[in-house]
Each structure stands twice: as structure tokens, then as C-alpha cells.
Amino acid sequence: MNFKQFISANKKPSILIPQAITVIALISVIIYFATNAQINMGNRGISFGFGFLNQEASFDIAFSLIEFDGSYSYGRAFLVGLLNTVLVSVIGIFFATIIGVIVGVSRLSDNYLIAKAAEWYVEIFRNIPLILQIFFWYFAALRALPSPENAINFYDISYLTIKGWYIPKFIWTNFNLFCYSIIAAFFSIYFFLKYAKKQREEFGRILPTATISILILILLPLISFFLLDVSLSFSYPELKQLSAASYTYENGVSIIPELMALALALSMYTATFIAENVRAGVLGVSKGQKEAAASIGLNKGQILKLVVMPQALRIIIPPTTNQYLNLTKNSSLAAAIAYPDMVLVFAKTALMQTGRAIEIISITMLTYLSLSITISIFMNWYNKKMAIKEK
Amino acid sequence: MNLSNYRPTKDKISTYLPLGSFLIIISFFDILINTFFNLNITSFLTQKISYFFPLVIGFIGFYLIRIEFSGVKFLDKLNKNINSNNFNALLTLLILFIIIKSILPILNWFFFEANFVGNSKEDCTGDGACWVFIKVWFNRFMYGLYPDVEQWRVNTAFILLFGLVGIAFFVPQKIKKYFLIFLIFVYPFIGIKLLSGGSFGLTYVETAAWGGLSLTFIISAFAILFCFPIGVILALGRRSSLPAIRYISIGFIELWRGVPLITVLFMAAVMFPMFLPDGTFIDKLIRVLIAITLFEAAYMAEVVRGGLQALPKGQYEAAKSLGMGYWRMNALIILPQALKLVIPGIANTLLALVKDTPLIFVVGLMELAGMIGLAKTNPKWLGMAMEGYVFAGLVFWVICYAMSRYSQNLEKKLSTER
């Protein structure tokens, strides 16, 4: 429809007038707010603009994946916060998926006790506000851990203390080559699976796909270790005395308690929703499908892999992606316990220092918004692809 | 020698059932003695074997009593439910052992070693929870910083609300309508006036003093009241045939749904005052309330849209053929049916709203979680975080669990009707 057609289709006043009123009202509200904002900013002697992103931040961030100190810019601070958000989201999604699948499958167990235990897990953790769970882990549970000199010791490799969890640092040589070998392994598995599918569908030959895939995944990196001079060593955390009563660990990687509390709470809370999705998905595959598959001679593993899972996943994946998105948005609760995520670093600390409320809040909201929109576009694409193609 | 001769079958039940039961009883006896009296009856074994002894013994016991079609009703039921194969037997044992092992420390902390009497931290001498903390601060946790002598006003407002809602359930259909109109259009003003005061001889209490659980309820109640009509209008807008209205609605809904609530709260607290004319001031509580309402309205709109989409086209066409206009059609034909379809979804959104309210403490409003944060940093009451958050967790859990149960029942009831 071009513009002319659009106009002629909307010529009737009963259609045109309400739209015109809405648009005019919206525009006037925006203009009203904008003029007020301009006057207010003029009074405070600041002008709208994003130039401040290049200014020196002059504050420190407790935990960052990339190098940062006070001499870096606000733009860099934003990046640090964004990366921390991504880090905690990825960790949370990983564990939420594992816990969620286990609990969801357990709820369907024919073992009464297991099913009940899983049900109570869901009922307990779903009905307590996430922020209280985060507070519980951070202020109550993790504060009860011992101080560094009495740390909980895991075989002298890693130590759990009130200051954080110290784990060994990985020291790689030729890490690039190792990454290439992993990528190569995934590619070869992809092509092998394609070949296996063709063999199955055209000739009815069943290849041991799982075993061979795992073998490839182990063998290729091993080859990189032995032939291409990749090596890995660990730098273990060591106790070091700072002063008479103050100890710390050195040479390892420290996972700060804020990150632990946040990841724990996020994954345990989101897992309850994923568990419900998994349960609904498996229940959603009708019994007839399994019986039909069994009657054409598929064995139990094949029924699960070729008949039940593809149909269950179609039900499970869309709401689960939504939960992943929720988890990412919920990770902004980090601001409440001082984990330096995007909201804390940017929308709180940087805002306090620069006073640029409009720019900073807009950037923060836009970042989350673009993330949501990207995922929902992907979701729509996926739904279209997975929708049952009826003839 | 054929091993299958020794499989537990029905004809050997008189040997295997007592033997298996005996082994299971021993394994549980070992665990119970170990937990409650701290005695290890298997100390003659090495430490590692002694640790797994009850598991192994119990597992063998369960194997021996797994007799198919035994004819004993209880045994068949037991085998079917918790002992259908080796893996299930192992899981059953593990779950039971974990429950036994963990129940004692939890009970000890909650009751047996906890302190209930006293009025300062020094009265808490046991190893368990210090419920004195909750007792002393209870008033603050419920009412925030609301002045003690004025707290009857909060109580009155809530008793009035619950009383009205309660009566509305029982009065005949004819009067119910007026009750609802009163509740929705008149009561909020009475409630606000009662809480804030400033006239009718009531002293003024500023909103900064409101807090505790009562603030949670106030915010939830107002947000629920306002987010519902806004959500319905947005849903209708999204389904509208007028492109300008449709795109504005879609943009509005997706904007709120795409961002976390915490950034919306920051926006209301920090950014929104910049948009107002110099010198005007809107109370922070009201700004936050508007933010939460709009945020939840976007979610409500999506739920209502689900109901609108689920209605068959014939309903719209029938209404139009009767000569109804847009508003009459929606108000009399479409919405009553669509809303009924999505009552469970609406209940879930309201549940999410209640669960979201503790977040308001990030902008400095002291509801329950915020008051606990305040209390646990009080120099006289340091180290009481566990008690505080367990208490808050229990309170919210009871509220949310009741709500989710109610919505599940509603779902069941409505689905059987159709």
C-alpha cells in the first residue's frame, strides 16, 4: 500500500479523527516534556548530549572482565557493566537450564517422593520474590562463610570464604589453536550428523551418532595438545597474610560473593519456571505418538530422540527463551547488592557523578530493549520454522 | 547355580519380605541414631564404608521387597510408587536420608534452639534464630516509620478494605454492583485521606514515613486497581483497525515489556522530575506508583489480548449485525467473554505485581525488604539478616502461595465449565 492508497483508505472522518487526536495528543505531550527538560537542563547548566561518554570516569569498579580503573572513560564503564550483566546472565541461564530440566523431569517421575520433592521445590522458590532470595543468599547465607584463614578447602585447589570463592587460574599457551580445534570439532560433528541423517533416512542404516560425536569432541582437542604445542597449567590460589588479622588468597581467580549470590538466586528462581515449561512440554506430546513410534519398531532411545523430543522441544523452547530473557532483565537486581552490572555502574554510579539522568537512563533502557527485541525477532523466526507444516 | 532362582518372587515372599524389611529398618535406624543421638552404630567399619552403609543396606532391602503381584496391597502400592526399579529405590533412599539429615538442624534453628523471649540482642543466647529481633521490630516491619499513635489509621483503612471486599462476596447480586463501584471509585480516596491525613482533624503523615508490609499492600492495591483498565485499553488499541492507534499501542507495550522494572523505577525517581516544569513536585511514592502501574499494565495488555484473540470472529460479526458500535460491542459482548477466558492469566499478572513490589526499595521507599535492611544495619541488632529475610520470605511466600493456589483453582473451575 503506497501513501496515496493509505490516505484514500483512511479518508472517512470516523477513522481519521480518533487517530489524529491520538497522534496530536502524543506529540504535544512529548513536546511538553521536551521543553520542560530543556528548561530544567538549562537551569542546571548542562546541555543534552552524549559527549560525556568520553570523559574520564574517575571511579573504580570492584569486578570487571576487561581492564578498568578511574582513568578510563564513562563509555568504557558502560562496557564493563554490560559485560558483567552478560556474565551473570550466561552463568544464570546455564544453571537454570540444568536445574530446570532436572526438576521438570523429576516432577513427571513415577517415584512419588521425587515428584513431590520437585513440586515443593517449584512451589517454594517460585513464590518468594527474587529480590528477597538474592538478599537471603548475599546477606544471610554467604555471610556465614568462614574468613580466609579458616576457608572451606576443596582438596587444596579451591577455597570458599566470606570474601569470595577462589578457584585456580587457567594458564594457556597457544590458546588460539585450542579454540580452533574446538571449532573444527563442532564443524566435523555437524557434517557427520548430516551424513548420519542421510544414511538413516535413505538407507535405514543407524550409525552410533552419540558415541562418535563425543569421540570427535575429545580427540580433536587432544590432537591439538599433543601435536600443536598447546598446553594448560593452573595457578592455584595461595593464602597470604596482609596484616596480623587480615588474610587473602593470591594467584587464583576470585569469584566475588555478589556474583555468587546473584547467580544462585537467579538460577534457582528461573529454574522453577523452566521446570514447569519442561513438564508441560513432555506432557504435551500425546501418548499415541509414542505408541505409534513403538509400533513401527523404534527402540526406546530412538522414540525419545526422534519422536518425543522434537515435539516436546517445540512446546518447551518458546516459553523458555522468554524465561532466559526474564533472567537477563532480572539480573538488573544486582544493583541491590552492589554487583557491578550495567544498572549499578551506569544508571547509578555514573548518573550520580554526571547528573545526566535523561541520557544515561535512555541508554540503559535502550540496551535492554534492543536485547529483548533481538530475542523476540529470533523467537518469531524460530516459531515459524518449527511450526507444524500442514498440507 | 542359577542366579535367577534367587530373584524375589511371590512364592518366596515369606523369606524375602521380612528380610528386606529388616534391612530397610536397620538402614533407617542407623541414620536416625546418627542424626539425633550422634552415635555411629557401624563404627566397626572403616569410615567410608560406614558412611555408605545405610544406603547399601537400604538398597538391598528395597531390592528384596520388590516382589511383583505379591498380593499384599500395601507392598504393591509401595513398590509401584517409590520402588519400581533400582534407580528409583536409590533416589527414594537418597531423598529420605536428605530429609532426615536436614530436618533436625532446620527445626533446631527455627524452634528448639531459638529465642522467643526478651527485648534486646543480648537475650538471644541460643544457637538458633533470634525471633526477639522480629518481635521488637514487628511494628516497624508492618507500618514502616508511620508514627505509633497514628497506626490505627492504617489498620482502619485495611480493615475497611477487607471488610468491604468480604461483604461484597456475600451480598445479593443487585447490591453487589454498588459495592464494587464504591470500592473502585470512592474507597481509594477515603483510604488515601485516612493514611495521609491533613484534614478532618487527622495529623498529616508524609509518604516518606509510610512503609513496611502495609506499603506493599497499598502499592499492590493501587497498581492492581489502575493497571487493569489501562491494560484493557492498551489491548483494545493493539487490536484496533486504526493504524496510528495500533502502532502507538504496540510501541508502548513493547517498550515497557522490554526493560527491567528496576530501570523503570530509576526513571520515575531520577529522570521523570526533569520532564516537569520547574518548581512542580510530584511525590516520589506517586511517581513510583505510576511507573509500576504502567509497567504492569503492559503485561496485563498482553494477557487481555490473548483473550481477545481467542474469541471466535462470529462474536464480533454478530454484535455488529445487531447494529452495535465499537464501544458497545466491546463493553457488552467482547470484553466480558474475553476477560473470563484469561482470568488465570490476570491472576498470574497480579501475582507477579505483588512479587515485584519489594523492588521499590531501590529508590528509597521502605517497604518490608527495605525495613529489614534498615533494621539489620542498626548497631544494636547486627547479624540478624538471616532472621529478617527468612521472616520476609515466609510472609511473601504465604501471600504468593495463597494467590497462586487460588488462581490454579480458578483455572480448574473455569476449564471444567467450558
Find the angle CA(A44)-CA(B365)-CA(A367) to the nearest 5 degrees: 60
Q: What is the pLDDT of residue A118?
A: 92
Residue B96 belongs to a domain: yes
Query: In this structure, is residue B170 part of a structural domain?
Result: no
- If asked whether residues B82 and B135 sit together in one domain, one would say no
In a domain, residue B155? The reply is no
Nearest by Cα to B70 from B26, B9, B19 = B9
Does B189 reside within a domain? Answer: no
Ordered DSSP codes for A314-360:
HHHHHHHHHHHHHHHHHGGGGGGTT---HIIIIIIIIHHHH--HHHH
Listed residue (A334, A330, A355) closest to A345, CA to CA: A334
Using CA atoms, how far apart are residues A317 and A175, in angstroms rounded to an integer? Answer: 34
| Residue type (1 letter), B385 | A
B81 contact residues in A (CB cutoff 8 A): 110-112
Tell me the Ramachandran region of residue B312: left when phi exceeds 0, alpha when psi lies from -120 to 50, beta otherwise. beta
3-state secondary structure of B238: helix
- Angle formed by the axes of helices A112-126 and A257-284, nearest 10°: 130
Q: Chain-wide mean pLDDT for chain A? A: 83
pLDDT reading at A270 higher than 90: yes
Phi and psi at residue A51, in whole multiples of 5°? -65, -25
pLDDT digits (tens, 9 = 90+) for B5-27: 667 777 777 777 888 888 888 88
> B136 and B103: one domain?
no
Structural domains of chain B, count: 2
User: Distance between CA atoms of B417 and B223, rounded to whole angstroms?
Assistant: 30
Supply the CATH number for residue B383's domain: 1.10.3720.10
Whole-number Å distance between alpha carbons of A137 and A144: 10
pLDDT digits (tens, 9 = 90+) for A39-63: 887 887 777 777 777 777 777 777 7
Domain of B95 in residue numbering reads as 3-112
Per-residue pLDDT tens digits for A287-332: 888 889 989 888 877 788 788 888 888 888 888 888 898 999 999 9
Q: What is the largest CA-CA distance in chain B?
A: 98
Q: Which residues of A touch B404 (CB under 8 A)?
A: 123, 126-127
Nearest to A369 among B95, B258, B369 (CB): B258
Q: Which residues neighbour B65 within 8 Å (Cβ) at sequence distance 6 or greater?
A: B8, B16, B17, B20, B21, B24, B75, B78, B79, B83
Q: What is the pLDDT of residues A171-221, one digit of tens each?
A: 777 777 788 888 888 898 899 888 888 888 888 777 787 888 888 888 887
Q: Which amino acid is at A153?
A: N
Note whether B321 and B409 are same-domain residues: yes
- Ramachandran region, residue B118 (left: φ > 0; alpha: ψ -120 to 50; beta: rest): left
- Provide the terminal-to-terminal Cα distance of chain A, rounded to the nearest Å: 30
Tell me: do B381 and B336 sit in the same domain: yes
Q: Say what the pLDDT of residue B404 is.
A: 87
In whole angstroms, give the CA distance from residue A58 to residue A281.
51
Q: Choosing among B263, B381, B390, which should be mutated to test the A contact, i.e. which has the most A CBs within 10 A?
A: B263
Q: Which of A125-134, A275-284, B61-70, B251-260 has the lowest mean pLDDT?
A: B61-70
Q: Report the alpha-carbon distance of residue A136 to residue A133 in Å, rounded.
A: 5
Q: Based on the domain organization, do B140 and B62 belong to the same domain?
A: no
Q: Which residue, among B213, B246, B271, B349, would best test binding to A if mutated, counting the most A CBs under 10 Å from its CB? A: B271
User: Do B228 and B365 have their domain in common?
Assistant: yes
Neighbours of B379 (CB within 10 A): 6
Q: Do B96 and B140 lie in a common domain?
A: no
pLDDT, residue B6, reads: 67
User: Does residue B273 sit in the same domain as residue B407?
Assistant: yes
State whether residue A240 is helix, strand or coil.
strand
Name the helix (H) or strand (E) containing B188: helix B187-196
Cell numbers that stand for B42 in this block: 557401624
pLDDT for res A124: 92
**Cβ-Cβ contacts under 8 Å for B312 (sequence gap 6 or more):** none
Mean pLDDT for A70-79 is: 84
Contacts A26 to B, Cβ<8 Å: 248
How high is the pLDDT of residue A99?
94
Q: Which of B249, B235, B242, B291 lies closest to B266 in space, CA to CA?
A: B291
ipTM value, please give it.
Answer: 0.86
B217 plus B357 within the same structural domain: yes
β-strands A158-161, A152-154 pairing:
antiparallel
Question: Are A234 and A158 in contact, with CB atoms under 8 Å apart?
Answer: no
Query: What pLDDT is attached to residue A388?
Result: 64
The helix or strand, by DSSP H or E, that contains position B254, with its residue range, turns out to be helix B243-258
Q: List chain B residues with pLDDT less than 50.
A: 1, 418
Whole-angstrom Cα Rg for chain B = 30
Three-state DSSP class for residue B345: helix
Mutate to test the interface with B, among A300, A361, A364, A376 (most CBs of B within 10 A): A361
C-alpha cell at B140: 516497624
- Residue-level pLDDT at A391: 47
Is the residue at B58 inside a domain? yes
> B365 contacts in A (CB within 8 Å)?
none
**What is the residue type of B176?**
K
In this complex, the residue of A40, A113, A369 whose CB is nearest that of residue B255 is: A369
C-beta neighbour count of B390 within 10 angstroms: 18
Residue A272, pLDDT > 90, answer yes
CA atoms within 13 Å, Cβ hemisphere of B291: 27
Question: Which residue of chain B comes nearest to A334, CA vs CA?
Answer: B262
Structural domain contains residue B102: yes
Query: In this structure, what DSSP letter does residue A157 have?
Result: T
CB-based contacts of A301: which residues, under 8 Å, 6+ apart?
none
Instruction: Tell me the average pLDDT across A330-347.
Output: 87
DSSP state letter for A376 = H
Asked, for residue B182, whether it belongs to a domain, the answer is no
A304-337 burial: b if 16+ Cβ within 10 Å, else e: eeebbeebbebbbbebbbbbbbbbbbbbbbbbbb
* pLDDT of res. A5: 64
Q: Are B224 and B265 in contact (CB under 8 A)?
A: no
B354 within some domain: yes
Pair B89, B141 in one domain: no
Same domain (yes/no): B108, B135: no
CA separation, residue A147 to residues A156, A162, A241, A368 (Å): 16, 5, 12, 37
Model-level pTM?
Answer: 0.86
B270 and B395 assigned to the same domain? yes
